[in-house]
Chain A
Amino acid sequence: MFLINCPYCGERDQSEFTAGGEAHIVRPKQPTELSDDQWAEFLFMRKNIKGVQLERWNHAHGCRKWFNMVRDTSNDKIHAVYKMGEKPPIK
């Protein structure tokens, strides 16, 4: 259990949030021109790394807004939280 600083509501318990997977995956502009492998790559393949990862989260039981987070998956340390559409503050 850890605390997440929602960019809209402030600091809340993790139980109010849902994780939305890896962030900044760009949807192909012409999906019909992709091969099955390329489409599967976009749709299913995720880095799932142990370490610092850029993720999408939703404050499902609060303001219901989506936002991005830089989180270390090995120890749940949150390095940064930023709004949708903004660039990650650290790489």
Chain B
Amino acid sequence: MLNFNTPIMDTKEFSEIKISEIEPILKINLRGKNRDFVTKIGKELSIITPVDPNTSSSNEKLNLLWLSPDEWLIYSNEKIDLNGANFLEDKLYNEISKVNLGSITNVTDHWIMINLSGTKIFELLSADCPFNFNSFKNSKGAVVQTLVNHIDVVIHNKNINNVNLFVRRSFTNHLWSWLNDGASRL
């Protein structure tokens, strides 16, 4: 994580929508197939591993998102110190990767987290997204991987009218411009 530079470092407020980049946030990708792996994650993180599609679980420090039947994403609630040692990654690596239960990948620099809040966020996202947000927006903790403006995103419904959107670093500026442009017209 050397030379870490966040691409946006900005917050924009519109009449019904607030868009802000929240970085640096710890993000770790977990991949594994067997039941021992799922049990181990829950034990190490003190969190129930979500095995139902499009769901997540959280505690006061971390969120664990279901991405596919054998893949999960962890992200922290608080900003992290990039110069400090990453104890969680080391702990998971030693308990899971080293014993061949699954794989642990630090994707902190890979994904950028954008927080969207306000009453019109789903109206904004629906402007160019094939996903139907009707039931999603009322399901706290719901997760969806879809396309927004033809860009791959992971959306976590953190609370009512408050979502965290993860986008790949190289697409961040483009999506940020699109979100701001769309929000200014709503």
Contacts and interface: CB of A to CB of B under 8 A. Distances in A.
Nearest to B70: A65
Interface in A57-71: 61-65
Interface stretch (B4-12, B56-64, B144-152): B144-152
Contact of B152 (A8, A9, A61, A63): A61
A31 B25 CA distance: 49
A63 B69 CA distance: 8
Contacts of A9: 53-54, 145
5 contacts: A9-B54, A13-B130, A15-B147, A16-B147, A61-B147
A15 B53 CA distance: 20
Contact of A13 (B68, B69, B131, B145): B131
B67 interface: yes
Contacts of A85: none
Interface of A: 8-10, 12-13, 15-16, 61-65
B53 A8 contact: yes
B53 A12 contact: no
A16 B71 CA distance: 18
A65 B147 contact: no
Contacts of A63: 53, 67-69, 71, 145
Nearest to A63: B68
Interface of B: 53-54, 67-69, 71, 130-131, 145-147, 152
Contacts, number: 34
When A and B form their complex, which 3 residue pairs have the shortest distance between CB atoms, in order from nearest? A13-B130, A63-B68, A15-B130
Contacts of A12: 130-131, 146
B12 to A, nearest CB: 26
A63 B72 CA distance: 10
Nearest to B66: A63
A8 B69 contact: yes
A10 B69 CA distance: 13
A65 B68 CA distance: 8
Given A9-B53, A15-B130, A16-B130, A61 B68 contact: no
Given A13-B130, A61-B147, 10 more contacts: A8-B53, A9-B54, A15-B130, A16-B146, A16-B147, A61-B152, A62-B146, A63-B53, A65-B68, A65-B69
Nearest to A14: B130
A62 B71 CA distance: 12
A13 B130 CA distance: 6
B111 to A, nearest CB: 15
A12 B132 CA distance: 8
B54 A10 contact: yes
